[in-house]
Amino acid sequence: MRERGLSGQATRQAAEQAGEAAQAATDVTLRFFQPLFDQLQAMWVGFVQTLPQLVLSLIVLVLTWVLAAAFSGAVKKMALRAHMRRTLADLFQTLTGIVIWILGILIASMILFPSVTPAQAIGALGIGGIAVGLAFRDTFENFLAGIMILAREPMEKGDVIEVEDVRGEVEEVTIRDTYIRKRSNELVIVPNSMLFKNPVEIDTDRDIRRYDIVVGVAYGEDATAALEVIRSAAEGVEGIVQEKGVDVFAREFGASSIDYTVRWWADSDPRRLHETRSAMVLAIKAALDEAGIEIPFPYRTLTFDEPLTVRREEG
C-alpha cells in the first residue's frame, strides 16, 4: 500500500512539473509573439476605422470609370460629327478619359487619406508629370507634333510627299509616326517631329500640277519654226489639261543646241506624271523628225591658233 502511495505521489509531481513547463513555454511564446499580435490588432482596428473611407473611395473610382467611358465616347462622337480624322477623334477620346481618371484618383486619394490636401496632391502630380516629361521628351515631342499635324491636316492617306530625301505615298498618320510607302515598296516610318520641323513637299496637294521638260534643237535649224513644231506636238498629247494650255519657251543657248522649255498641266498622280512625260517626249521627237529638225548629239568644236603637224609612221 505504501509503495502504491509513493508511486501516485511521484506521478502527481511529474504532472505538476510538466504543467509548469508547458505554462513556461506558453509564457515565452506569448512574450515573443505579443508585439506581433498587438500590431495585427492595431492594423485591424485601423482597417475597420478606415473602412468607410475605403468603400467611399472605391465608389468614387467606379463612378470615375462610368463617367470616363460616357464622356470620352461622347467627345469622340462629337469629333466625328465635326468631320475630324478618326485618329484625332480617338486622341480626344483618350485625353478626355485620362483627365477624368486623374481627377477621380485625386478625389479618391483625398478621401482615403484625409491628411492629403488638394494642393499636396496637385503638387505631387505636377512633379511626377515633369519627371515623366523629361524622361520621355522625344516621345512627347513626336506626340505633340502628331497632334498638330492631325489638327492642321496638311496631308492625308494616299498623298505623295517628300521629306528629308524620303519620298513616297502616305499610308497612315498616327499620333507618333507617319508611315510612308516608297515607290520601291519599302515602308519608312518617319517620326512626326521630323515632319513638323522640316519642309514637306506634297505632290498631290492639288488634283493637277505642272510638269516641265527641256528639248534641244540644233543651231542650224530655224528656231521659230522648231518652237511651233514643238508646241503643236505638245498640244496634241492625251492626258494633259487642255484648259491650262501648253507653254513653250526658248530657254537658253546650250553647249550644242538651243534649248526649249515645254510646260503642261496634268493629273498630280505620280503614275500620270510618267505616262504624260513619256507621251510628251515621244510626240515631240516624232514631230521634229517629221519636220526634218535635228536634235543634236552633244559635241565640242576645238580651235587651234596654229596648224597642227601630223606625223605619219610607216609600218
| Residue extents of the structural domains in the chain | 42-135, 155-202, 208-290
Residue 90: predicted pLDDT: 77
Query: Beta partners for 214?
Result: 261
Q: Which residues, 6 or more positions from 161, have their beta carbon under 8 angstroms from its beta carbon?
A: 155, 167, 168, 170, 180, 200, 201, 202, 203
**Sign of the CA dihedral 295, 261, 276, 161?**
positive
Instruction: Quote the CA–CA distance of 127 and 311 in Å, as a whole number.
Output: 91
Architecture of domain 208-290: 2-Layer Sandwich (3.30)
Three-class DSSP labels, 104-120 = HHHHHHHHHCCCCCHHH
* pLDDT one digit per residue (tens) for the chain, 315 residues: 445 554 556 666 666 666 666 666 666 665 666 666 667 666 766 656 667 777 888 888 899 899 988 988 888 888 888 777 777 777 788 888 888 888 888 888 877 777 766 666 666 666 655 555 555 556 666 667 777 776 676 777 788 888 888 888 888 887 778 889 988 888 988 888 888 788 888 888 788 888 999 999 999 899 999 999 999 999 999 888 888 889 999 999 988 899 999 999 988 887 777 888 899 999 999 999 999 999 888 777 777 777 777 677 665
Residue 104: predicted pLDDT: 86
CB 306 within 8 A of CB 249: no
CATH 2.30.30.60 correct for 155-202: yes
Residue 16: predicted pLDDT: 64
Residue 97: predicted pLDDT: 86
Residue 32: predicted pLDDT: 61
CATH class of 42-135: mainly alpha
Residue 34: predicted pLDDT: 62
Residue 148: predicted pLDDT: 73
DSSP secondary structure code for residue 156 in this structure: -
**Sign of the CA dihedral 45, 51, 53, 54?**
positive
Which grid cell is 253?
A: 543657248
Instruction: Quote the CA–CA distance of 162 and 159 in Å, as a whole number.
Output: 10
pTM over 0.85: no
CB atoms inside a 10 Å sphere around CB 124 = 13
CB 193 within 8 A of CB 145: yes
Mapping DSSP to helix (H, G, I), strand (E, B) and coil, where does residue 288 land?
A: helix
